[in-house]
Structure 1
Amino acid sequence: MRDETLEQLLLKEANLVFKYLIKMGASKEDAEDIVQETLYKTIKNIDAIDGHNMRAWLFKVAINSYYSLYNKKKKQSTIAADHLQNLKMLTESTEDYCITEEKRKVIQKALDLLKPSYRELLIFKYVMELSYRDIANLLETSEEKVKVYLYRARNKFKEIWEGLNLE
Protein backbone atom coordinates (compact mmCIF):
# COMPACT_ATOMS: atom_id res chain seq x y z
CA MET A 1 0.00 0.00 0.00
CA ARG A 2 2.84 2.40 0.87
CA ASP A 3 4.49 1.81 -2.52
CA GLU A 4 1.23 2.61 -4.26
CA THR A 5 0.96 5.90 -2.34
CA LEU A 6 4.58 6.75 -3.15
CA GLU A 7 3.94 5.94 -6.80
CA GLN A 8 0.88 8.19 -6.88
CA LEU A 9 2.81 11.01 -5.19
CA LEU A 10 5.71 10.69 -7.65
CA LEU A 11 3.37 10.69 -10.65
CA LYS A 12 1.52 13.76 -9.37
CA GLU A 13 4.76 15.64 -8.73
CA ALA A 14 6.24 14.47 -12.05
CA ASN A 15 3.24 15.91 -13.87
CA LEU A 16 3.77 19.26 -12.15
CA VAL A 17 7.48 19.21 -13.03
CA PHE A 18 6.60 18.34 -16.64
CA LYS A 19 4.23 21.32 -16.91
CA TYR A 20 6.85 23.61 -15.41
CA LEU A 21 9.50 22.44 -17.90
CA ILE A 22 7.13 23.08 -20.79
CA LYS A 23 6.46 26.59 -19.46
CA MET A 24 10.21 27.18 -19.20
CA GLY A 25 10.52 26.42 -22.90
CA ALA A 26 11.44 22.74 -23.02
CA SER A 27 10.01 20.72 -25.87
CA LYS A 28 7.53 18.00 -24.97
CA GLU A 29 10.11 15.31 -25.75
CA ASP A 30 12.85 17.02 -23.72
CA ALA A 31 10.48 17.56 -20.79
CA GLU A 32 9.49 13.89 -20.89
CA ASP A 33 13.16 12.83 -20.93
CA ILE A 34 14.05 15.15 -18.07
CA VAL A 35 11.09 13.97 -15.98
CA GLN A 36 12.02 10.34 -16.64
CA GLU A 37 15.63 11.01 -15.63
CA THR A 38 14.46 12.93 -12.56
CA LEU A 39 12.17 10.09 -11.48
CA TYR A 40 15.00 7.59 -11.97
CA LYS A 41 17.31 9.68 -9.76
CA THR A 42 14.53 10.08 -7.20
CA ILE A 43 13.88 6.36 -6.95
CA LYS A 44 17.61 5.66 -6.85
CA ASN A 45 18.10 8.12 -3.97
CA ILE A 46 14.72 7.73 -2.26
CA ASP A 47 16.25 6.83 1.11
CA ALA A 48 18.30 10.04 1.20
CA ILE A 49 15.41 12.36 0.30
CA ASP A 50 13.34 13.94 3.05
CA GLY A 51 9.70 13.18 2.30
CA HIS A 52 8.64 16.74 3.15
CA ASN A 53 11.06 18.14 0.59
CA MET A 54 10.30 15.69 -2.20
CA ARG A 55 8.76 18.33 -4.49
CA ALA A 56 11.65 20.75 -3.99
CA TRP A 57 14.15 17.96 -4.68
CA LEU A 58 12.33 16.93 -7.87
CA PHE A 59 12.21 20.51 -9.13
CA LYS A 60 15.88 21.15 -8.39
CA VAL A 61 17.00 18.01 -10.20
CA ALA A 62 14.71 18.73 -13.17
CA ILE A 63 15.70 22.39 -13.42
CA ASN A 64 19.40 21.53 -13.31
CA SER A 65 18.89 18.91 -16.02
CA TYR A 66 16.94 21.42 -18.12
CA TYR A 67 19.67 24.05 -17.84
CA SER A 68 22.32 21.50 -18.80
CA LEU A 69 20.29 20.44 -21.83
CA TYR A 70 19.44 24.04 -22.72
CA ASN A 71 23.09 25.10 -22.64
CA LYS A 72 24.05 22.10 -24.76
CA LYS A 73 21.33 22.78 -27.34
CA LYS A 74 22.03 26.51 -27.35
CA LYS A 75 25.41 25.75 -28.88
CA GLN A 76 23.87 23.65 -31.65
CA SER A 77 22.19 24.94 -34.77
CA THR A 78 18.40 24.75 -34.80
CA ILE A 79 17.51 24.74 -38.49
CA ALA A 80 14.55 22.40 -37.94
CA ALA A 81 12.87 24.95 -35.67
CA ASP A 82 13.03 27.54 -38.44
CA HIS A 83 11.30 25.12 -40.83
CA LEU A 84 8.55 24.44 -38.28
CA GLN A 85 8.00 28.18 -37.82
CA ASN A 86 7.68 28.60 -41.59
CA LEU A 87 5.07 25.82 -41.75
CA LYS A 88 3.17 27.37 -38.86
CA MET A 89 3.17 30.73 -40.62
CA LEU A 90 1.63 29.18 -43.72
CA THR A 91 -1.30 27.80 -41.72
CA GLU A 92 -2.11 31.04 -39.86
CA SER A 93 -3.00 34.40 -41.27
CA THR A 94 0.16 36.38 -41.82
CA GLU A 95 -0.95 39.41 -39.83
CA ASP A 96 -2.10 37.42 -36.78
CA TYR A 97 1.03 35.34 -36.90
CA CYS A 98 3.32 38.39 -37.08
CA ILE A 99 1.59 40.14 -34.17
CA THR A 100 1.54 37.03 -31.99
CA GLU A 101 5.09 36.08 -32.88
CA GLU A 102 6.38 39.60 -32.20
CA LYS A 103 4.71 39.68 -28.76
CA ARG A 104 6.06 36.24 -27.95
CA LYS A 105 9.57 37.29 -28.98
CA VAL A 106 9.48 40.44 -26.86
CA ILE A 107 8.16 38.55 -23.83
CA GLN A 108 10.72 35.78 -24.30
CA LYS A 109 13.52 38.31 -24.78
CA ALA A 110 12.49 40.13 -21.59
CA LEU A 111 12.39 36.83 -19.69
CA ASP A 112 15.77 35.80 -21.13
CA LEU A 113 17.30 39.05 -19.89
CA LEU A 114 16.14 38.35 -16.33
CA LYS A 115 18.25 36.49 -13.83
CA PRO A 116 17.26 32.80 -13.86
CA SER A 117 15.95 33.03 -10.29
CA TYR A 118 13.63 35.92 -11.21
CA ARG A 119 12.44 34.09 -14.35
CA GLU A 120 11.67 30.96 -12.31
CA LEU A 121 9.72 32.93 -9.74
CA LEU A 122 7.61 34.65 -12.40
CA ILE A 123 6.88 31.32 -14.08
CA PHE A 124 5.94 29.71 -10.77
CA LYS A 125 3.60 32.56 -9.84
CA TYR A 126 2.02 33.66 -13.11
CA VAL A 127 2.25 30.70 -15.44
CA MET A 128 1.86 27.82 -13.02
CA GLU A 129 -0.30 29.93 -10.67
CA LEU A 130 1.38 28.62 -7.51
CA SER A 131 0.69 30.36 -4.21
CA TYR A 132 3.41 32.16 -2.26
CA ARG A 133 3.37 29.27 0.22
CA ASP A 134 3.81 26.66 -2.52
CA ILE A 135 6.69 28.60 -4.05
CA ALA A 136 8.30 29.00 -0.64
CA ASN A 137 8.04 25.25 -0.05
CA LEU A 138 9.52 24.47 -3.46
CA LEU A 139 12.44 26.79 -2.92
CA GLU A 140 12.80 25.92 0.76
CA THR A 141 12.55 29.55 1.88
CA SER A 142 10.06 31.83 3.62
CA GLU A 143 6.94 33.32 2.07
CA GLU A 144 8.26 36.79 2.90
CA LYS A 145 11.40 36.20 0.83
CA VAL A 146 9.29 34.90 -2.05
CA LYS A 147 7.14 38.06 -1.92
CA VAL A 148 10.19 40.32 -1.86
CA TYR A 149 11.92 38.52 -4.72
CA LEU A 150 8.73 38.38 -6.78
CA TYR A 151 8.32 42.12 -6.28
CA ARG A 152 11.88 42.65 -7.50
CA ALA A 153 11.36 40.23 -10.40
CA ARG A 154 8.19 42.03 -11.51
CA ASN A 155 9.89 45.41 -11.36
CA LYS A 156 12.92 44.16 -13.28
CA PHE A 157 10.69 42.52 -15.91
CA LYS A 158 8.71 45.77 -16.25
CA GLU A 159 11.93 47.77 -16.64
CA ILE A 160 13.24 45.38 -19.32
CA TRP A 161 9.85 45.23 -21.06
CA GLU A 162 9.58 49.01 -21.26
CA GLY A 163 13.14 49.23 -22.56
CA LEU A 164 12.41 46.68 -25.28
CA ASN A 165 9.20 48.45 -26.36
CA LEU A 166 11.05 51.77 -26.70
CA GLU A 167 13.62 50.33 -29.11
Structure 2
Amino acid sequence: MSDKSLEELLIDEIKIVFKFLLKMGVSIEDAEDIAQETLYKALKYIDSIDSDRVRAWLFKVAINDYYTIYGRKKRRQEIDIDNLDVIGMFTKSAEDIFLTNEKGREIKSTLAMLQPEYRDLLVLKYTMNFSYRDIADVYGYSEDKVKVYLYRARNRFKQLWEARWLNERQEGK
Protein backbone atom coordinates (compact mmCIF):
# COMPACT_ATOMS: atom_id res chain seq x y z
CA MET A 1 0.00 0.00 0.00
CA SER A 2 1.10 3.59 -0.42
CA ASP A 3 1.86 6.18 2.25
CA LYS A 4 -1.86 6.88 2.59
CA SER A 5 -3.77 5.48 5.50
CA LEU A 6 -6.38 2.84 4.79
CA GLU A 7 -9.10 5.38 5.50
CA GLU A 8 -7.66 7.90 3.00
CA LEU A 9 -7.26 5.18 0.37
CA LEU A 10 -10.85 4.00 0.76
CA ILE A 11 -12.21 7.55 0.64
CA ASP A 12 -10.21 8.35 -2.51
CA GLU A 13 -11.29 5.13 -4.20
CA ILE A 14 -14.96 5.42 -3.25
CA LYS A 15 -14.99 8.90 -4.83
CA ILE A 16 -13.86 7.29 -8.10
CA VAL A 17 -16.55 4.63 -7.75
CA PHE A 18 -19.16 7.34 -7.11
CA LYS A 19 -18.04 9.25 -10.21
CA PHE A 20 -18.28 6.06 -12.28
CA LEU A 21 -21.81 5.40 -11.04
CA LEU A 22 -22.88 8.91 -12.03
CA LYS A 23 -21.39 8.41 -15.48
CA MET A 24 -23.37 5.20 -15.78
CA GLY A 25 -26.54 7.23 -15.35
CA VAL A 26 -27.25 6.30 -11.75
CA SER A 27 -29.17 8.99 -9.88
CA ILE A 28 -27.19 10.93 -7.27
CA GLU A 29 -29.25 9.42 -4.47
CA ASP A 30 -28.75 5.85 -5.69
CA ALA A 31 -25.05 6.48 -6.35
CA GLU A 32 -24.67 7.75 -2.78
CA ASP A 33 -26.48 4.66 -1.45
CA ILE A 34 -24.38 2.28 -3.53
CA ALA A 35 -21.13 4.05 -2.58
CA GLN A 36 -22.09 4.00 1.10
CA GLU A 37 -23.02 0.31 0.97
CA THR A 38 -19.79 -0.47 -0.89
CA LEU A 39 -17.73 1.38 1.71
CA TYR A 40 -19.58 -0.43 4.51
CA LYS A 41 -18.82 -3.80 2.90
CA ALA A 42 -15.18 -2.80 2.42
CA LEU A 43 -14.85 -2.00 6.12
CA LYS A 44 -16.68 -5.19 7.05
CA TYR A 45 -14.43 -7.41 4.90
CA ILE A 46 -11.25 -5.34 5.04
CA ASP A 47 -9.13 -8.22 6.32
CA SER A 48 -9.94 -10.31 3.25
CA ILE A 49 -9.26 -7.60 0.64
CA ASP A 50 -5.85 -7.66 -1.01
CA SER A 51 -4.43 -4.15 -0.50
CA ASP A 52 -3.20 -4.06 -4.11
CA ARG A 53 -6.70 -4.78 -5.41
CA VAL A 54 -8.82 -2.41 -3.33
CA ARG A 55 -10.08 -0.46 -6.36
CA ALA A 56 -11.03 -3.61 -8.24
CA TRP A 57 -12.83 -4.98 -5.19
CA LEU A 58 -14.77 -1.75 -4.66
CA PHE A 59 -15.80 -1.59 -8.30
CA LYS A 60 -16.97 -5.21 -8.32
CA VAL A 61 -19.14 -4.63 -5.27
CA ALA A 62 -20.52 -1.33 -6.60
CA ILE A 63 -21.29 -2.76 -10.06
CA ASN A 64 -23.06 -5.74 -8.50
CA ASP A 65 -25.09 -3.43 -6.26
CA TYR A 66 -25.90 -1.24 -9.27
CA TYR A 67 -27.29 -4.20 -11.23
CA THR A 68 -29.19 -5.44 -8.19
CA ILE A 69 -30.85 -2.07 -7.57
CA TYR A 70 -31.70 -1.38 -11.19
CA GLY A 71 -32.75 -4.96 -11.87
CA ARG A 72 -35.13 -4.80 -8.94
CA LYS A 73 -36.60 -1.53 -10.17
CA LYS A 74 -37.11 -3.16 -13.58
CA ARG A 75 -36.06 -0.09 -15.45
CA ARG A 76 -33.11 0.57 -17.62
CA GLN A 77 -31.05 3.62 -16.84
CA GLU A 78 -29.43 5.51 -19.64
CA ILE A 79 -25.98 6.98 -19.49
CA ASP A 80 -25.92 10.66 -18.58
CA ILE A 81 -24.37 12.05 -21.74
CA ASP A 82 -23.77 15.42 -20.06
CA ASN A 83 -21.05 13.76 -17.99
CA LEU A 84 -19.42 11.95 -20.90
CA ASP A 85 -16.34 13.55 -22.34
CA VAL A 86 -16.81 12.03 -25.79
CA ILE A 87 -17.81 15.33 -27.33
CA GLY A 88 -15.68 18.44 -27.15
CA MET A 89 -17.66 21.03 -25.27
CA PHE A 90 -15.73 23.99 -26.66
CA THR A 91 -18.59 25.48 -28.60
CA LYS A 92 -18.75 29.02 -29.88
CA SER A 93 -22.25 29.58 -31.20
CA ALA A 94 -25.83 28.62 -30.47
CA GLU A 95 -25.72 26.43 -33.58
CA ASP A 96 -22.63 24.64 -32.27
CA ILE A 97 -24.34 24.09 -28.92
CA PHE A 98 -27.43 22.69 -30.64
CA LEU A 99 -25.36 20.36 -32.82
CA THR A 100 -23.30 19.19 -29.83
CA ASN A 101 -26.45 18.47 -27.81
CA GLU A 102 -28.02 16.66 -30.76
CA LYS A 103 -24.88 14.54 -31.22
CA GLY A 104 -24.90 13.84 -27.48
CA ARG A 105 -28.46 12.54 -27.64
CA GLU A 106 -27.52 10.30 -30.56
CA ILE A 107 -24.50 8.91 -28.71
CA LYS A 108 -26.58 8.41 -25.58
CA SER A 109 -29.22 6.55 -27.52
CA THR A 110 -26.65 4.37 -29.27
CA LEU A 111 -24.86 3.53 -26.02
CA ALA A 112 -28.20 2.57 -24.47
CA MET A 113 -28.66 -0.03 -27.23
CA LEU A 114 -25.47 -1.84 -26.25
CA GLN A 115 -25.51 -4.76 -23.87
CA PRO A 116 -24.68 -3.50 -20.36
CA GLU A 117 -21.21 -5.07 -20.19
CA TYR A 118 -20.11 -3.43 -23.44
CA ARG A 119 -21.51 -0.08 -22.35
CA ASP A 120 -19.76 -0.36 -18.97
CA LEU A 121 -16.44 -1.26 -20.59
CA LEU A 122 -16.63 1.70 -22.96
CA VAL A 123 -17.43 4.08 -20.12
CA LEU A 124 -14.60 2.73 -17.94
CA LYS A 125 -12.08 2.99 -20.78
CA TYR A 126 -13.06 6.20 -22.53
CA THR A 127 -14.78 8.26 -19.85
CA MET A 128 -13.06 7.11 -16.66
CA ASN A 129 -9.71 6.59 -18.47
CA PHE A 130 -9.12 3.21 -16.84
CA SER A 131 -6.20 1.20 -18.17
CA TYR A 132 -6.73 -2.29 -19.55
CA ARG A 133 -5.17 -3.62 -16.35
CA ASP A 134 -7.58 -1.63 -14.16
CA ILE A 135 -10.57 -2.91 -16.12
CA ALA A 136 -9.22 -6.45 -15.96
CA ASP A 137 -8.95 -6.14 -12.19
CA VAL A 138 -12.52 -4.87 -11.88
CA TYR A 139 -14.00 -7.71 -13.90
CA GLY A 140 -11.52 -10.43 -13.01
CA TYR A 141 -10.57 -10.83 -16.68
CA SER A 142 -7.19 -11.06 -18.33
CA GLU A 143 -5.98 -7.92 -20.09
CA ASP A 144 -6.29 -9.76 -23.41
CA LYS A 145 -9.95 -10.54 -22.71
CA VAL A 146 -10.58 -6.87 -21.88
CA LYS A 147 -8.97 -5.84 -25.17
CA VAL A 148 -11.12 -8.33 -27.08
CA TYR A 149 -14.32 -7.21 -25.33
CA LEU A 150 -13.50 -3.54 -25.88
CA TYR A 151 -12.82 -4.28 -29.54
CA ARG A 152 -16.22 -5.98 -29.79
CA ALA A 153 -17.90 -3.15 -27.88
CA ARG A 154 -16.40 -0.51 -30.18
CA ASN A 155 -17.41 -2.50 -33.27
CA ARG A 156 -20.95 -3.01 -31.99
CA PHE A 157 -21.22 0.70 -31.20
CA LYS A 158 -19.95 1.49 -34.71
CA GLN A 159 -22.50 -0.89 -36.28
CA LEU A 160 -25.36 0.64 -34.33
CA TRP A 161 -24.13 4.16 -35.11
CA GLU A 162 -23.85 3.46 -38.84
CA ALA A 163 -27.25 1.73 -38.95
CA ARG A 164 -28.79 4.75 -37.27
CA TRP A 165 -27.14 7.09 -39.78
CA LEU A 166 -28.36 4.99 -42.73
CA ASN A 167 -31.90 4.89 -41.35
CA GLU A 168 -31.92 8.66 -40.93
CA ARG A 169 -30.67 9.16 -44.49
CA GLN A 170 -33.32 6.82 -45.91
CA GLU A 171 -36.07 8.52 -43.92
CA GLY A 172 -34.84 11.90 -45.13
CA LYS A 173 -35.30 10.96 -48.79
TM over 0.5: yes
Runs of at least 5 residues in structure 2 that lack an aligned partner in the other structure:
77-92, 168-173
Query: Structure 2 counterpart of 1:114, which letter?
Result: L
Sequence identity, in percent?
58
> Distance between the aligned counterparts of 1:154 and 1:57, measured in 2?
26
1:7-86 to 2 correspondences below 5 Å? 7-73=7-73, 75=75
Aligned position for 1:107 = 107
TM-aligned CA deviation for residue 14 of structure 1? 0.3
- The alignment of Structure 1 onto Structure 2 pairs a total of residues equal to 148
Distance 1:100 1:74, change over 3 A: farther
Tell me by how many angstroms 1:143 deviates.
Answer: 1.6
Letter in 2 for 1:23: K
CA distance in 2, matches of 1:72, 1:162: 33
Q: Per residue, is there more helix in 1 or in 2? A: 1
> Does residue 116 of structure 1 match 2:116?
yes
Q: What is the CA RMSD across the aligned residues, in angstroms?
A: 2.4
Segments of 4+ in structure 1 off by > 4 A?
72-76, 93-98
TM-score by length of structure 1 reads: 0.76
The two structures have a TM-score, normalised by structure 2, of 0.74
Distance of 1:164 and 1:152 partners within structure 2 = 18
Question: Per-residue CA shift, 1:21-45, capped at 9, x if unaligned?
Answer: 1111112232122111110111112
Structure 2 residue identity aligned to 1:121: L
- Do the aligned residues in 1 keep the contact of 2:55 with 2:138 (CA within 8 Å)? yes
Q: Which amino acid aligns with 2:70?
A: Y
Q: C-alpha separation between the residues in 1 aligned to 2:114 and 2:75?
A: 20
